[in-house]
Each structure stands twice: as C-alpha cells, then as structure tokens.
Chains A and B, each alone.
Chain A
Amino acid sequence: MKAFLTIAVSVMLAVAISPLLSAQWPDYPTANVPLLPNGQPNMEGPTPRTPDGKPDLSGIWALGRGGGGGGRGQRGQGRGDAGAGAARGAPATPANTPAPAQARGAAPAPTPPAANAGPPVASFFDLGSGIQGGLPYTPWAAELRRQRMADNMKDNPDAHCLPIGLTQLHLHPQPRKIIQTPKLIVMLYEAQGGVRQFFMDGRPLPNNDPQPWWYGYSIAHWEQDDLVVETTGFRDDVWLDVNGSPLTTTGKMTERMRRPNYGTLQTDITIEDPKSYTKPFTVRVNHRLMLNTDLIEFICQENEKSSQFFEPASK
C-alpha cells in the first residue's frame, strides 16, 4: 500500500508538472500514430513501411532504453537517458527507474524486441563500456585516449563547437531526425546541427577522396529489413566518444539500422580502424520515437564562452 501511495503521489506530481514541459512547443501532432484501445500511442505497434515495402525509419528519435546516453558506464539509464527533448514526445522510461512525467501527447517507451540479445550497448562517454575489457585499442590509441582524458576531454571537437564524432551523435541526448526517400536517406542531428546523407543509388564509396570529412561519406543499401550504411573518408582526429576513443582516416563505420516496432530504432555499429583498434568491434544504440515534437535549432558558435575557462588551458 505504501509503495502504491508513493507511486500515486509521484504520478500526480509528474502530471502536475507536465504542462510546464509542454508549454511552449507548437501543437503539431505526429500523424498516423497507432493507438492502443485506451487511446494511448502504441509504441510497440507494427513497423511502418514505405510504399515499396521497406521499413520506414522516418521520425524524430531520442536515446532509448539501454541507449547508454550518460556518463559513467551505463548510468546513462538515468537522467541522461530520460529522453532529450521528450517534452511533448514519448517520455523516457529508464529501465530500472520509475516512470517519468507523462508529457502531453506522450506514450510509454517501447520495449525493443530481444533487448537482451545482440551487441553490447554503448555509452556516450565510453563506447566500450559494455565490452568486457573495453575497446581493443592499439597502443597508440590507448595512449592518445589516456592523454585526452588527462586533459579533461577539453579537446573533444564538441567542446569547441566543431562536429561531433558520429557515435557521439548517435548517443547524444539531443534528438536526431531521419528523412527517408527511396534513393537517399538524410539524418539531421540537433547536436551541432549535424547532417549526413546516405546515398542509395548504387554508387560506390569513393576511394580517392582528397578531402576527409568530419562525418565521412556514406552509402547504404537494404538487407531484408536492415538498412546497412557504410561510411569511410573520415578525418584523422575523430573522437568516437567523450573519453576520446579515436577514429582515423583508415577507419570504416558500418551501421545496421532497423525499426523492429513502431517506437524503436536499433542501430548496431561496427568500427574497423587498424590504426586505432586491433580488431573490429560492434556496439548497439537504441533509440525511441518522439511524438509531437521536432528538432530545435542549435548554433553552438553563437556565444561560446566556455573554452576560455578550460583547464588545462587549450594550446
């Protein structure tokens, strides 16, 4: 009874607070949301499909259950995982915590199918937090990461308003949006205004690109219901996570993205980079659909005043 009352009071308070959360976003509800008999969104409903029968990955996606968004190890299950921008969208339901405030238009977070199967879940600070023994660094990469951490990660490109490593973007608390067409898929990331294009017209990866890119060059194809995205052409100074796990120009990232139900996006990321890692490794990121919201502009250079106070001072 005591536990029931505790939960009841929590829910009442959460409901009381929720109008605050939804107070200032235009009321544009997501279309074609499958509903439960009680009228709530059915986040575990069937995977939507495009007219050609492919899974439709379109939507606004927040870090989801087991998304590993936060700091130490898997603590991203807590606040860091609670759904960046979940206001007016589907709120987070951290796996081992009480349900958070139910924002207006919200729905329970879906349960990813086979959540306990598959690759280890990555975290924002440490991509290898779910891998026993951590990532398989080469000695060069291990020393570089050690130095980056000793410097309080102050040279993470993000800290200087530069583009974030792709895996940081996948794990960032700020949401991302997928726009899907048959021959081109675009991912927009609220964090640092990142933009990626997945070319699906059959072109190969460039093998003589003279200009490495922050986000690399991506081609994609379908393998049954998995979208397989291959990316190469990275710069030599990518930070895969906040702790500074490197990726270099010899690196390749392969993402297998799938939408196993209406509310879940699951991405398995394989990194190959012989300069940085002794063998390839694969980690998983789960995202959950956000309803009735959109990306918010984020122009980092607008008023960046933090880096002048960094310790140790930037060189």
Chain B
Amino acid sequence: MTAIPTPFTPATNKMRHQRLAIVVMAVIFLLAPLVVYPVFMMKVMCFALFACAFNLLIGFGGLLSFGHAMFLGTAGYVSAHAAKVWGFTPELAVLFATAAASLLGVLTGLLAIRRQGIYFAMITLALAQMVFFFYLQAPFTHGEDGIQGVPRGKLFGVVDLNQPLAMYGFVLAIFLGGFLLIYRIVHSPFGQVLKAIRENESRAISLGYDVDRYKLLAFVLSASLAGLAGGTKALVFQLASLTDAHWSMSGEVVLMTLLGGLGTIFGPVAGAVIIVTMENYLSQLGAWVSVVQGVIFVVCVLAFRRGVIGEIAHALKKPL
C-alpha cells in the first residue's frame, strides 16, 4: 500500500522559491480585481482558504475528512447570525465564527480520530450529515431560505465594508493570513511530526509522540481555518445557507484539493481557482456540473494523482 504521493520532501534551504511563489501569488490576487469581478475573486479566495485548510489535514496529516462542509457551514451561520441579529462588527463576527468552528472541530475530532483511513472518512461524513440535519431544523438558520441580507458592517467600526475595495482588502488579508499560517504550520516541527505520523504511525508512536493529540490538533486547526473561510464567505455574499453545510460541499473541497495537488502548498489555491471558474461558466447547465465534477474526480484518481501543482513541481523538481 503506497501512501498519498508526496511531491516534495521539505528541505529548509530549498524554501526560498516557495517564498518567492507566495509573493507572486499575493501580487496576482492583489491585482486581479483590475481584470476580473472582485466578488468572483473573493469567492475564489474563500474557497482557496477552505481548500488549504482541508489540505492541511489530508496532505500533511493523511486524514481524509469527508465532512469539512460542517465547519464551513457552521461558521457561515454563526458569522451571519452574529452580524445580523447581534450586530457584531465584521472582524468580531468572523472571529466568533472561527471559534465556533474550532469548538465543533474539537467535538467531532475527538470522535473521528478514534478510527483511521476509510472509517475516518465515513465518520466525518456521517457527523457532517448530522450537523446538516440540525441546521435544516434549527429555527435560527431559517431552513431552506438561509440567513439573508447579512450586513457587511464597518471593520473595527471605522471602515465601511460595503465599499467593494475595502471588502476586497479584508478578504485578501484573511486569505493571505490563513495561507501564511498554514505554510508556517506545515514547516514547523509540529508539521514535521504530522508528516511522520502520516508516513508511519506506529513508528511515530514508538518514538514517543502522542499521535492522537497531534491528530486532534491538526483536525481542530483545519476546522478553524475552514471556519475562517466560511465566516468570511457569509459576509462576502451576505448570505448563509444550507448549501455550505451539505455533503456535496464536502465533496467539492476534496475535488479542489485533489485537482490542485494533495499535499502541495499551492495546489488547493489552484484547484479552487479552476473549480470556481468552471462552475461559474457551467452554472446554466444545472445537473451537468456534478457530472463534470465526477469526471474530474475519476480522471484525477486514475491518471492525474499529483494534481496540477504537483505535476508542475514534479517537472521543475522543486516543491511547490
């Protein structure tokens, strides 16, 4: 049984080009609204952060969660409710939403890490379905309608986020902040231990690492960052709905990460750009969207397991 392919082995002296690539990426996202719709780019950034958070778990911890929509959805509802009903300022609403996702991450993580591999995927999927049914019935989510007309509010009570440029800056800052945090986590001693657990769990245990604690921490970090994305997304679209908590959303984030490249730094971002763009163009086609997604899944698994960025990194012989 071969593990999920690792396109790179991190070596600190080879990280310079990664930092350069991060700068390039930041500049692209900074200048993008000159060419494409800002709202579209904000959607891309929310999904990119979501996918990066997911990738932290599968790409570096080897844990495939099939229920990450529960964190995106939960944070979306919490952020929307806090901003609309309680009148939180946007930064507090997003923070509060992230905290809620972390809490949910602790609760579900404690259950899910009790099993590995395929079971882990099934358990996270089932727990996410439970959370989905809860939101379907809970009164504050307004069921099928969702929480609509969420005010973007004033950042720190000063900057009006209804101005497109201000909102763009806010989302960009959150996305880059989350991305850098994940980059830092991956290259930290903690990240190295995670990779050791992914490669050989029994050996990590025999070396004295408390494997379950590392897994739980990785799960909670991933959940929190997914929550950060979800909370921001609710403010961008001024809407929190059941779609974000549905299992198909969990599948979509798997798809983005797989297509971009599991276990790469930039893969999830590339995957999010491709999938969100594709859905933008295919949105009139209705059910065909899920067929196209399915085809991408099948092709990626059968013939393209490194993903877009993984292939580029392989060709360049440099980790990306």
Q: Do A and B make up one complex?
A: no
